[in-house]
């Protein structure tokens, strides 16, 4: 299915024409000025649902949308720009399938396909953040990006815990006070001088009654965001009472925010202790809280950051989800770089810390981003003390209490403290096992290790 985005009125005729030509394989999204479904929301909505998106609008506008902090371009997405004056079509992502789609559009509309070739690789080292969080620029924030690119000190300020990937060595928490700031936060920067990294960790709980107008909850939320300084781009989902996801006010808010809706049964919400329960609500729906309790229920152990606010017939509350570390169990295959599966390489580049036996860490050291911490933990008995006697423990990694741990224990400790960790092993990685904990576990199998004697079958 192809997403067609009409950038306001000028883009609608050609978008409608393409949809008429491809009724079974396309879906049109029409951006409108003056409501919540403006061009950034329409583009984000299409990109979240379709691998291939055709935007009908002027080239500067479409390129600007792809750089907008409200638009997250998924990895593997293909975007084409069609001139509303019916002159050309340009694939903005350079793949064979995107160029083939451009030829189909050219044939269908009688426009000229323009192929510009692959773009230059991004020069800014902070581009590593793009797939993982929103980079939120303001006019004064260019100093941070320029300093990071030039190798000058950048001060990292973390207001919201988040498992960041490896950052350049010059981006550090102990940089000078007068250095440009990279701030990890979910709140606005008052003076606009910091470059913000905004993890999507906020959950909006919504309560709505039978008389609530479709726009009421969203209007209330926008007023709350303006009052508290929380960023709209940090909102990850909406939560409400079971059966209310189709309420016009909830549906409209989710559409404006371009986020999914979680529903929770009343008996689940009733178990949460909230600051503003309502006996009347409890009598009506079976739980004394909807907005606050639903936000907490979807925050997975997080905390309420904005208590219930009310309009005439709607309520909203905001919770910040508990941020968990990230622990990827990565099989490296036989060890040669060309035998590493693509997902494994992506996880190595995502990690801020790589842990494993020395031979495994050494095998991937050249593939890691600058600034990635490497923790190589030898096998027991391979480390000698000052008298040359083998020790029965590795002796190079400890947990938070000072207890010596092996490579698995080191990885678990780091992930439990909120880091993005890759635990690596040669072979398919099937021997890597970790206990459950306060971290997300991902497994990336590799190819089997080569037999010791002889070629692989």
Residues with pLDDT less than 70, the chain: 24, 117-125, 127-128, 130-140, 380-404, 449-457
Kind of pairing between the strands at 2-6 and 52-56: parallel
Helix axes 96-109, 8-21, angle to 10 degrees: 90
Is the whole model's pTM more than 0.85, yes or no? no
Predicted pLDDT at 387: 61
Predicted pLDDT at 122: 46
User: Which residues on neighbouring strands pair with residue 53, listed in sequence order?
Assistant: 3, 79
DSSP string, 308-347: EEE-SSEEEEEEEPPPPEEEEEEE-BTS-GGGS-HHHHHH
Q: Give the model confidence (pLDDT) of 131-140 as tens digits.
A: 556 666 565 6
Instruction: Give CA–CA dist 152/170, Å, rounded.
Output: 6
Could you count the other beta carbons within 10 Å of the beta carbon of residue 457?
Answer: 5
Task: Yes or no: say if 342 and 436 are a contact pair by the CB < 8 Å rule.
Answer: no
Instruction: Give CA–CA dist 73/76, Å, rounded.
Output: 9
Predicted pLDDT at 452: 53
Task: Yes or no: say if 43 and 53 are a contact pair by the CB < 8 Å rule.
Answer: yes
Instruction: Give CA–CA dist 62/15, Å, rounded.
Output: 14
Predicted pLDDT at 395: 44
Predicted pLDDT at 386: 55
Could you count the other beta carbons within 10 Å of the beta carbon of residue 169?
Answer: 12
Q: Which helix (H) or strand (E) holds 310?
A: strand 303-310
Predicted pLDDT at 146: 86
Nearest Cα to Cα of residue 98 among 81, 122, 74, 123? 81
Q: Give the model confidence (pLDDT) of 209-267 as tens digits.
A: 989 999 999 999 999 999 999 999 889 899 999 999 999 999 999 988 888 999 999 99
Predicted pLDDT at 121: 45
Predicted pLDDT at 225: 95
Predicted pLDDT at 345: 84
């Amino acid at each position: 299915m192809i997403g067609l985005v009409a950038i306001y009125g000028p883009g609608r005729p050609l978008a409608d024409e393409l949809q008429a030509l491809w009724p079974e394989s396309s879906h049109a999204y029409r951006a409108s000025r003056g409501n919540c479904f403006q061009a950034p929301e329409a583009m984000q909505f299409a990109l979240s649902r379709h691998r291939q998106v055709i935007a009908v609008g002027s080239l500067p506008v479409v390129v600007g949308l792809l750089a907008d902090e409200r638009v997250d371009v998924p990895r593997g997405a293909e975007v084409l720009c069609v001139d509303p004056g019916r002159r050309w079509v340009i694939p903005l992502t350079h793949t064979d399938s995107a160029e083939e789609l451009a030829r189909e559009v050219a044939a269908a509309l009688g426009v000229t396909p323009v192929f510009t070739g692959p773009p230059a690789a991004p020069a800014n080292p902070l581009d590593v953040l793009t797939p993982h969080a929103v980079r939120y620029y303001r006019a004064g924030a260019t100093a941070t990006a320029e300093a990071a690119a030039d190798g000058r000190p950048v001060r990292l300020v973390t207001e919201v815990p988040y498992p960041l990937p490896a950052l350049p060595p010059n981006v550090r928490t102990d940089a000078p006070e007068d250095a440009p700031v990279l701030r990890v936060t979910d709140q606005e920067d008052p003076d606009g001088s910091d470059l913000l990294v905004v993890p999507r960790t906020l959950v909006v709980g919504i309560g709505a009654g039978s008389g609530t107008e479709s726009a009421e909850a969203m209007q209330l939320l926008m007023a709350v965001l303006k009052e508290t300084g929380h960023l709209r781009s940090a909102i990850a989902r909406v939560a409400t009472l079971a059966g209310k996801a189709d309420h016009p006010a909830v549906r409209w808010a989710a559409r404006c925010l371009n986020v999914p809706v979680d529903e929770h049964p009343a008996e689940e919400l009733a178990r949460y202790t909230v600051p503003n329960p309502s006996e009347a609500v409890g009598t009506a729906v079976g739980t004394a809280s909807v907005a606050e309790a639903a936000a907490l229920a979807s925050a997975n152990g997080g905390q309420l950051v904005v208590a219930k606010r009310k309009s005439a017939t709607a309520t909203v509350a905001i919770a910040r989800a508990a941020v968990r570390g990230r622990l990827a169990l990565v099989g490296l295959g036989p060890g040669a770089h060309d035998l590493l599966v693509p997902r494994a390489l992506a996880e190595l580049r995502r990690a801020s810390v790589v842990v494993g036996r020395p031979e495994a860490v050494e095998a991937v050291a050249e593939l890691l981003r600058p600034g990635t911490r490497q923790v190589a933990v030898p096998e027991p008995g391979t480390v000698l003390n000052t008298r040359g006697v083998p020790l029965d423990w590795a002796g190079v990694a400890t947990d938070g209490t000072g207890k010596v741990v092996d490579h698995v224990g080191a990885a678990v400790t780091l992930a439990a403290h909120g880091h993005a960790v890759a635990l690596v092993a040669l072979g398919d990685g099937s021997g890597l096992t970790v206990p459950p904990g306060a971290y997300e576990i991902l497994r990336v199998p590799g190819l089997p290790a080569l037999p010791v004697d002889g070629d692989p079958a």
